[in-house]
Structure formats: structure tokens, C-alpha cells
Amino acid sequence: MKRGFMIGAVVMMVSIPLAFAGKAEREFHKNEMTPAVTKAQDAYKKACGCALKINVNASLKEIDDMRQAKYIAENITENVSGYCNDDASKKAMCAMKSLDITKGPDTKFSFAGGKGSAVTDGQSYVSFDMMTREIDK
């Protein structure tokens, strides 16, 4: 009888964190990451004079991964006005029409055909400086 109780307790302990994890991710997505992305898009448009569509890929499922997307967005918000302060910089940055944020094995940024790709390894994020170096080539 004690053995059956222990097995039930183990199952119960495993089930609770899994059920809670989905809610925590949804709340982080809604309350922290999405507002940061919206704020970054607004700051980009205000500073550079053009729209940037930021797409966060579904591969960022865990809070730690979504936190990196939030950091990318916050870094854009914090730095874009200091960069887009002359016509040449605005023109260069307006070449990027969209930014996809995904998860991959290495943190890196690439740019081609008007599309930026920011890849996070889940532990580090692409800074705005990394983006400008690639776009400004």
C-alpha cells in the first residue's frame, strides 16, 4: 500500500509543473514579450521613419527563449533613436522591412533581401549593434 502511494505522489509531482508551464509561457508571451516587440516596432518607425515588422517564431516556446526575443526588442528600443539620427543611417536601416527572431544553435544575425534574421541560442541575444554592422555593410 505504501508503494502505491509513492507512485501516485511521483506522478502528481510531474503533472503539476507541466500543467503550470503552459500558463507561465502564455503569460510571459502576452505580458512581457509582445509589448516589448510592439514598443520596438514603434520606436523603429519613430526614429527611422519606416516600418519594421518583427516576427517571433514559434520555435521560441520556453520562457528563457522568449526572454531573449524580449531582450532583442528592448535593445532595438533603447538604441534605434541614437542610430537613426541622419539621412544615411535612416536609409540604411529602412532597407530592413522585417525581422524574424528564431531559435538556433548559435546566436547570430543575417540580412538579405530586406529581411533580417536574428537567431538566439536561448542563452544570448542579437544586439542592435550586431544588426547595424550587418545592415550597414
* C-alpha–C-alpha distance, residues 83 and 111, integer Å: 18
Extract the C-alpha cell encoding 124.
544570448
pLDDT value of residue 136: 86
pLDDT averaged over 10-residue windows placed end to end, the chain, 137 residues: 43 34 85 96 97 93 93 98 95 96 96 96 95 92
pLDDT value of residue 21: 54
pLDDT value of residue 42: 97
Q: Residues 6 or more apart from 48 whose CB is under 8 A from it?
A: 80, 84, 89, 90, 93, 94
Q: Where are the domains of the chain?
A: 2-135
Q: Which tens digits make up the pLDDT trace of 10-32?
A: 333 333 333 335 888 989 989 99
pLDDT value of residue 59: 85
Hey, what amino acid is at 53?
K
Exposed / middle / buried, residue 128 (Cβ in 10 Å: 0-12, 13-18, 19+) = buried
pLDDT value of residue 79: 97
